[in-house]
């Protein structure tokens, strides 16, 4: 008996480091990009870098997989037969960083915010107003990446809150449209939910700072234009056990060669926009896999005419081998991914097995 | 020769085993303590969830009855006794007791038919009691509660249609208003009956009278009342305007109904200002002494809301500046005299646990000015930052610790500023940093003059920092100044 006791003690002693060490070490996923913008725009959905960063910091009520609606922050979505009235139930666990619930008022404020933004952007003078931007050329590029149909649709929104009290199933938000629309869920409900009050407080939308007041799995914790963007997981995200990775880094690499070397050595995990040469070099590679770029799925809906990259080449303009490809991505085989990554470029379910 | 050696080993082995056993017990004890500490938070969370569930059940329309003080646990015993007494005694009181027992019993019944039968029997019993004593207010209140429940459950009784029961409820309400207009139980029953009949205004008026009576309400009754207002007008009807009656309302709404709290901010501000006026009048009429008055004012000043609402805070600053002036606390009197003419600037805040390179590290994870997140400031190399919205000119930065925490010296504070949140510089302009105390709390008060920067960082650099300067962010850093009119 006494011998058993000492055995138990030694077993416990040996397992002590496991007991006292944190449950999850801080794991990181790193992505290599040809450019890292200092600015983001929630409506610039045709800009692919902007789009993949937003996919991880800004959740919406629903997402679309081709023609299929997939609920995200919403737990229920119904429309009347005439499709002029939409009832949306919001996940009661959906909370902003400030811990304010993403209730019907935040939803209404989000759409009012985007409607105002659409109104400003529709006025020609606003397009010229680059006074807040550190990089006017990139801001112009972002604004040109906002599809005109999105602005038109946003301007036609009229919302009325009918039910203002929360229920156990979450806040119910009722939207009444001026004209029936079967595609309402696709072109409006897929926009990121934003804490409009906080966004307005910064005067410039996201600017060179780190103010990304979205409802989402990650927050922007560092933003060094042309160098680095760091996202850090929010501990109040409404999907339990997600995100699986604590930090995501988007790093700018001067050349495609540097980026590919970093991928081979494990310094990065994903190259979302490889060059034609990179794709040729990594055919049947033992540590790097090629997969269909999730951007292809994002392109389907809402209908995007074309991805608008800020630069079409990594670093050598007019060199065909250096041209950026948006149909394929490269990732290390040690990176585990899931359907949400494949469909939406959502990294919340991804983790690098080398991080553990 | 071998035996002693074996014996020696055994002793050593036993000694080692004993030592290990003691260590194991200590280890298990320590682990149990850790689990206990961890589970304390879970328990608190559990308790909060229970409260939340209660709130939801009220929202979903469940009838809230007066506090039964544990009677439900003895329902069966109570019913058996009341039935037995009724066989030998047909007095009004015996019928009342039987009705009460039948009504209580129905509350625990899940089966709809059974529940309906129990409620109808309870109604029959109370009607029998009322025949003997029609002016008894207790009988009338029970009748109203039974009829409200029958109506809510959409039941009918063998000899009564639903319509007839509704008419009976109307008559019972009218009768109860005459019989017991000032009874807390009657007012609560009337409010619920009127709500059931769709007369919300009358329901709120009953509850307003109930609150004016100052009677002690159970937690469930209080939650029921907190959740009734659907707009600011309804809130204004129910919200008390006296100290301390309005305090739980502000605490509940700021925590549980936070969106409504910000939407109906003006109504809460009016109630708070009215309560301050009421306290002044009570002091003038010698209903309270100066000492109590100061204690009550400091208690109100401890509300986060009292600092977040400019109108209320300015009034409090004026009152407290006068109090401190009269008591020769000129430092605080001067600060509050300055602050009463300033607005609280709606800054955005960010905390950094470790800021080893304050000149190059960016602030991120922004929170609203009134965020309730608790953050410790005085850890070595920790920083607090804020973003200053355009059109505001800051003059006063106040860091406030929670009650009974250790003070920190002004020398361990360094101020940095930036125009782009990328490169920070030590703030060289005229800044005066003071370390002060007031009523068990410590403060760092920083006066600045016309800064041209938008981002600020307050860095704590002292290796002795233990994180005890901890507070909810809404109080931890407050910035006051002037708004520039455009």
* CA angle (B164 as vertex; B163, B167 as ends), nearest 5: 90
The string of DSSP codes covering A195-208 is -HHHHHHTSSSSTT
Q: Given B367, B390, B422, which is nearest A98 (Cβ)?
A: B367
**B1 alpha-carbon distance from chain centroid:** 78
Residue B5 pLDDT: 40
Max Cα distance, chain A (Å): 86
Cβ contact, residue pair B362, A223, below 8 Å: yes
* Structural domain contains residue B364: yes
pLDDT at B35: 47
At residue A101, what are phi and psi to the nearest 5 degrees?
-70, 145
Nearest CA in chain B to A223: B362
Contact A53, A45 (CB under 8 A): no
Residue of A nearest to B60 (CA): A167
Query: Strands (DSSP E) along B322-454, which ranges?
Result: 343-344, 348-352, 374-376, 382-387, 392-400, 413-418, 425-426, 431-438, 441-448
Task: State the pLDDT at residue B181.
Answer: 66
B24–chain A Cβ distance below 8 A for any pair: yes
Span B279-298, mean pLDDT? 94
Query: Is residue B53 very low, low, confident or very high in pLDDT (cuts 50, 70, 90)?
Result: very low
Give the CA angle between residues B206, B210, B211 to the nearest 5°: 120
Query: Who among A97, A134, A203 is closest to B390 (CB)?
Result: A203
Check which CATH number belongs to the domain holding B117 and give it. 1.25.40.10
pLDDT digits (tens, 9 = 90+) for B379-433: 878 889 999 988 899 999 999 988 777 778 888 889 999 988 888 999 877 788 9
Instruction: Find chain A residues with C-beta within 8 A of B367's C-beta.
Output: 97-98
Query: Does residue B235 belong to any structural domain of this protein?
Result: no
Mean pLDDT for each consecutive 10-residue tract of chain A (356 residues)? 49 44 64 91 92 94 85 89 83 82 79 86 61 75 88 75 52 73 78 86 64 89 88 89 94 96 95 96 95 85 75 93 94 93 94 70
Each residue's pLDDT tens digit, B89-108: 678 888 898 898 889 888 88
Domain boundary (B341, B366, B399) is at B341
Q: Give every CB contact of residue B35 below 8 A, 6+ residues apart in sequence.
A: none
Task: Select the residue of A6, A203, A219 nearest B365 (Cβ to Cβ).
Answer: A219
Mean pLDDT of B233-247: 92
Residue B397 shares a structural domain with residue B329: no
B387 CB near a chain A CB, below 8 Å? yes
Q: Are A118 and A155 in contact (CB under 8 A)?
A: yes
Does the pLDDT of residue B1 top 60, yes or no?
A: no
Interface touch B24/A105, C-beta < 8 Å? no
B358 and B309 part of one domain: no
For an interface test with B, the pick among A98, A106, A215, A227 (most B C-beta atoms closer than 10 Å) comes out as A98
Strand B470-472, strand B392-400: pairing: unpaired
Same domain, B85 and B198: yes
Task: Break chain B down into helix, strand, coil percent, rounded to 5.
Answer: 55, 15, 30
Chain B nearest-CA distance from A9, in A, is 6
In-domain check, residue B121: yes
Which of A167, A201, A231, A237 would you mutate first to test chain B, the one with the most B CBs within 10 A?
Answer: A201
* Interface-testing mutation among B10, B364, B386, B486, with chain A (most A C-beta atoms within 10 A): B364
A99 to B368: CB separation less than 8 angstroms, yes or no? no
Cα of B113 to nearest chain A Cα, Å: 27
Rg (CA), chain A: 22
A209-245 burial: b if 16+ Cβ within 10 Å, else e: bbbbbbbbbbbbbbbbbeeebbbbbbeebbbeeebbb
User: Is B358 in the same domain as B308?
Assistant: no
Q: How far is A244 from chain B (nearest CA, A)?
A: 19
Angle between helices B247-255 and B265-284 (to 10 degrees): 160
Mutate to test the interface with A, among B368, B392, B419, B486 (most CBs of A within 10 A): B368
- Domain end position, chosen among B297, B316, B341: B341
Calculated CA dihedral for residues B235, B236, B242, B245, nearest 10 degrees:
-10
**Total length of chain A:** 356
Say yes or no for a CB contact (<8 Å) between B390 and A222. Answer: no
**Cβ count within 10 A of residue A162:** 12
Alpha helices in A21-123 (DSSP H): 48-57, 104-122
Q: Please tell me whether residues B81 and B212 are part of one structural domain.
A: yes
- Rg of chain B taking only CA atoms, in angstroms: 31
Residue written as token pair 């081979």: A264
Beta-carbon-side half-sphere exposure of residue B228 (alpha carbons within 13 Å): 33
Please check whether residue B46 lies inside any domain of the structure. no
- Cross-chain residue pair B14–A211, CB shorter than 8 Å: no
Looking at the structure, tell me whether residues B138 and B204 fall in a common domain.
yes
What residues of A are in the B interface, CB distance below 8 Å? 2-3, 5-6, 8-9, 12, 19, 97-101, 103, 105, 134, 164-168, 195, 197-198, 201-203, 208-211, 213, 219-224, 232
pLDDT of residue B438: 86
Give the Cα-Cα-Cα angle A160, A162, A166 (nearest 5 degrees): 125
| Minimal Cβ distance to B367: which of A97, A103, A210 | A97
Best to test chain A binding among B362, B373, B456 (most A CBs inside 10 Å): B362
Q: Whole-angstrom Cα distance, residue B261 to residue A282?
A: 58
Beta strand ranges found along B306-347 (DSSP E): 343-344
- A229 backbone φψ class: left, alpha, beta (φ>0; ψ -120 to 50): beta
Q: Please tell me the distance from the alpha carbon of residue A50 to that of residue B400, in angstroms, as a whole number.
A: 40
- Nearest CA among B174, B168, B241, B231 for reference residue B202: B174
Tokens found for residue A197: 């009050």
d(CA A154, CA A298): 20
**Nearest to B170, CA basis, from B193, B140, B203:** B193
CA distances (Å), origin A189, targets A43, A86, A87, A184, A345: 13, 10, 11, 7, 18
pLDDT digits (tens, 9 = 90+) for B300-347: 999 999 999 999 999 999 999 999 999 999 999 999 999 999 999 999
CB contact under 8 A, A167 and B60: yes
CB B391 within 8 A of CB B440: no
Residue B473 C-alpha, separation from nearest chain A C-alpha, in angstroms? 11
The interface predicted TM-score (ipTM) is 0.74
Query: What φ, ψ does residue B395 adopt, rounded to 5°?
Result: -130, -25
Within-domain flag for B129: yes
Q: Tell me the residue range of the domain where B284 lies.
A: 255-341
Same domain, B86 and B172: yes
Measure in Å the smallest separation between the Cα of B316 and chain A Cα atoms: 27
- Give the CA count within 13 Å in the CB-facing half-sphere of B215: 18
The answer as to whether B93 is a domain residue is yes
On whether both B320 and B271 belong to a single domain, the answer is yes
Give the nearest partner residue to A219 out of B14, B364, B421, using CB atoms.
Answer: B364
Domains, chain A, with CATH or none? 22-355 (3.40.190.10)
CB-CB contact of B396 with B479 (8 Å) = yes
pLDDT reported for residue B274: 96
Phi, psi dihedrals of residue A266, rounded to the nearest 5°: 90, 5
Separation CA A201–CA B389 (nearest Å)? 6
Whole-angstrom Cα distance, residue A302 to residue A188?
Answer: 10
Please, what sign has the CA dihedral across residues B223, B225, B228, B233?
negative
In sequence order, the β-bridge partners of residue A291 are: A329
Domain assignment present for B29: no
Measure Cα distances from B207 to B173, B219, B222 in Å: 14, 15, 10
Distance CA B242, CA B253 (A): 17
Mean predicted confidence (pLDDT) in B243-248: 91
Q: Which three-class secondary structure state does DSSP give residue B50?
A: helix
Do residues A248 and A314 lie in contact, with contact meaning Cβ atoms separated by under 8 Å?
Answer: no
How many Cβ atoms from other residues are within 10 Å of residue A281's Cβ?
17
A and B: number of Cβ contacts within 8 A:
95
- In this structure, are B391 and B309 located in the same domain? no
For helices B265-284 and B310-326, the axis angle rounded to 10 degrees is: 30
Residues of B in contact with A227 (CB under 8 A): none
Nearest to B299 by CA among B281, B275, B322, B325: B275
| pLDDT of B28 | 63
- Would you say residue B391 lies in a domain? yes
CB-nearest partner of B346 from A6, A201, A209: A201
> Do B356 and B414 reside in the same domain of the chain?
yes
What pLDDT score does B345 carry? 95
Question: End-to-end alpha-carbon separation of chain B, Å?
Answer: 103
Contact call for B387 and A167, based on CB within 8 A: no
Which residues of chain A make contact with B365, given a CB cutoff of 8 A? 97, 210, 219, 221, 232
**Cβ proximity of B359 and B416 under 8 Å:** yes
Helix (H) or strand (E) holding A8: helix A2-20
Q: Where are the beta strands (DSSP E) in A94-253?
A: 172-176, 218-224, 228-233, 247-252
Q: Which residues of A touch B24 (CB under 8 A)?
A: 5, 8-9, 12
Contact B421, B363 (CB under 8 A): yes
What's the pLDDT score for residue A338? 93
Which of helix, strand or coil describes residue B68? coil
Taking the Cβ of residue B372 and every Cβ of chain A, the question of whether any pair is shorter than 8 Å is answered with yes
Greater confidence (B123 vs B10) lies with B123
User: A202: cis peptide before it, omega within 30°?
Assistant: no
Q: Which pLDDT score is estimated for B19?
A: 67
Chain B: closest CA distance from residue A58 (Å):
14
Considering CB atoms only, which of B259, B364, B368 is closest to A220? B364
- Where do the DSSP E strands lie in B210-347? 343-344
A231: helix, strand or coil: strand
Tokens of B112: 């709809």
pLDDT at A132: 57
B368 and B468 housed in the same domain:
yes
CA distance A267 to A114: 38
DSSP A349: G
Q: Cβ of B259 and A197 within 8 Å?
A: no
- The residue among B317, B341, B365 that closes a domain is B341
Asked if B478 and B386 touch (Cβ cutoff 8 Å), the reply is no
**Measured CA angle at A325 (ends A320, A331), to 5 deg:** 125
Interfacial B residues in 235-274 facing A (CB < 8 Å): 258-259, 263
Per-residue tokens: B424: 């920070």
Q: How far apart are CA B134 and CA B140, in angstroms?
A: 8
pLDDT band at B485 (very low <50, low <70, confident <90, very high): confident
What is d(CA A324, CA A47) in angstroms, rounded to the nearest whole number?
13
Sheet order of strands, B477-483 included:
B343-344, B477-483, B392-400, B441-448, B431-438
Residues B304, B367 within the same domain: no
Estimate to the nearest angstrom the gap between the alpha carbon of B321 and the chain centroid: 28
What CA–CA distances, in Å, run from A27 to A22, B205, B289?
Answer: 12, 58, 61
User: A100–B17: do the CB atoms touch at under 8 Å?
Assistant: no
Q: Report which of residues A301 and B66 the model is more confident about.
A: A301
Rounded to whole angstroms, the Cα distance separating A46 from A145 reads: 5
Contact between residue A217 and residue A239 where contact means Cβ atoms under 8 Å apart: yes
Q: Is the pLDDT of residue B37 over 70?
A: no
Number of domains making up chain B: 3
């Amino acid at each position: 008996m006494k011998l058993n006791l000492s055995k138990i003690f030694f077993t416990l002693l040996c397992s002590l480091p496991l007991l006292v060490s944190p449950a999850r070490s801080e794991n990181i996923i790193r992505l290599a990009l040809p450019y890292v913008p200092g600015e983001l725009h929630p409506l610039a959905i045709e800009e692919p870098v902007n789009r993949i960063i937003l996919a991880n910091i800004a959740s919406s009520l629903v997402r679309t997989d081709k023609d299929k609606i997939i609920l995200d922050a919403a737990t229920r979505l119904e429309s009347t037969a005439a499709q002029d009235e939409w009832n949306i139930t919001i996940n009661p666990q959906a909370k902003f960083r400030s811990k304010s619930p993403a209730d019907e008022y935040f939803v209404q404020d989000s759409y009012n915010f985007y409607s105002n933004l659409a109104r400003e952007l529709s006025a020609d003078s606003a397009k010229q107003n680059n006074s807040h931007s550190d990089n006017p050329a990139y801001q112009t590029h972002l604004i040109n990446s906002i599809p005109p149909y999105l602005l038109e649709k946003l301007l036609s929104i009229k919302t009325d809150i009918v039910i203002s009290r929360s229920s156990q199933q979450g806040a119910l938000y009722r939207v009444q449209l001026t004209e029936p629309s079967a595609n309402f869920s696709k072109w409006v409900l897929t926009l990121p939910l934003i804490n409009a009050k906080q966004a307005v407080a910064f005067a410039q939308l996201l600017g060179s700072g780190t103010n990304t007041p979205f409802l989402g799995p990650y927050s922007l914790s560092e933003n060094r234009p042309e160098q680095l963007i760091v996202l850090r997981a929010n501990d109040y995200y409404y999907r339990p056990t997600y995100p699986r990775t604590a930090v995501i880094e988007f790093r700018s690499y001067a050349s495609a060669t540097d980026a590919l070397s970093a991928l081979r050595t494990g310094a990065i995990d994903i190259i979302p926009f490889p060059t034609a040469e990179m794709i040729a070099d990594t055919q049947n590679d033992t540590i790097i896999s090629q997969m269909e770029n999730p951007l292809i799925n994002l392109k389907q809906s809402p209908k995007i005419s074309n991805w608008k990259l800020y630069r079409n080449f990594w670093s050598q303009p007019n060199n065909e081998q250096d041209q950026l490809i948006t149909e394929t991505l490269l990732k290390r085989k040690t990176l585990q991914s899931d359907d949400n990554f494949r469909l939406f470029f959502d990294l919340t379910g991804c983790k690098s097995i080398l991080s553990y | 020769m071998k035996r002693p050696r074996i014996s020696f080993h055994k002793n050593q082995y036993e000694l080692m085993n004993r030592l290990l056993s003691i260590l194991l017990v200590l280890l298990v004890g320590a682990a149990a303590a850790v689990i206990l500490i961890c589970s304390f938070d879970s328990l608190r969370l559990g308790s909060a969830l229970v409260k939340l569930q209660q709130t939801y059940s009220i929202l979903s329309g469940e009838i809230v009855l007066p506090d039964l003080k544990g009677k439900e646990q003895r329902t069966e015993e109570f019913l058996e006794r009341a039935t037995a007494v009724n066989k030998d005694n047909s007095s009004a009181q015996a019928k009342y007791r039987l009705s009460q027992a039948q009504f209580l019993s129905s509350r625990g019944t899940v089966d709809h038919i059974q529940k309906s039968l129990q409620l109808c029997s309870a109604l029959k019993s109370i009607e029998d009691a009322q025949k003997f004593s029609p002016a008894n207010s207790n009988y009338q209140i029970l009748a109203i509660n039974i009829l409200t429940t029958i109506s809510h459950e959409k039941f009918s009784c063998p000899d009564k249609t639903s319509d007839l029961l509704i008419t009976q409820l109307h008559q019972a309400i009218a009768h109860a208003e005459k019989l017991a207009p000032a009874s807390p139980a009657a007012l609560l029953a009337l409010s619920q009956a009127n709500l059931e009949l769709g007369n919300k205004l009358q329901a709120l008026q009953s509850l307003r009278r109930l609150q004016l009576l100052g009677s002690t309400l159970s937690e469930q009754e209080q939650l029921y009342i907190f959740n009734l207002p659907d707009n600011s007008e309804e809130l204004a009807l129910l919200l008390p305007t006296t100290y301390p009656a309005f305090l739980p309302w502000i605490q509940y709404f700021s925590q549980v109904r936070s969106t409504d709290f910000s939407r109906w901010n003006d109504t809460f501000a009016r109630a708070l200002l009215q309560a301050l006026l009421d306290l002044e009048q009570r002091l003038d009429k010698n209903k309270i002494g100066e000492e109590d008055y100061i204690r009550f004012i400091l208690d109100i000043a401890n509300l986060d809301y009292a600092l977040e609402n400019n109108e209320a805070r300015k009034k409090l600053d004026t009152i407290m500046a006068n109090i401190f002036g009269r008591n020769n606390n000129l430092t605080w009197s001067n600060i509050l005299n300055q602050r009463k003419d300033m607005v609280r600037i709606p800054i955005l805040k960010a905390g950094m646990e470790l800021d080893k390179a304050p000149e190059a590290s960016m602030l991120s994870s922004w929170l609203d000015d009134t965020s309730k997140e608790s953050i410790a400031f005085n850890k070595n190399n920790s920083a607090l930052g804020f973003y200053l919205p355009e059109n505001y000119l800051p003059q006063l930065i106040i860091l406030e610790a929670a009650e009974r925490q250790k003070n920190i010296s002004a020398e361990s504070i360094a101020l940095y500023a930036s125009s782009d949140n990328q490169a920070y510089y030590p703030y060289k302009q005229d800044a005066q940093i003071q370390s002060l105390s007031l009523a068990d709390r410590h403060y760092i008060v920083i006066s600045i003059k016309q800064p041209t920067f938008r981002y600020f960082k307050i860095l704590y650099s002292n290796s002795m920092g233990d994180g005890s300067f901890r507070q909810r962010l809404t109080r931890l850093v407050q910035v006051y100044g002037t708004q520039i009119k455009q």
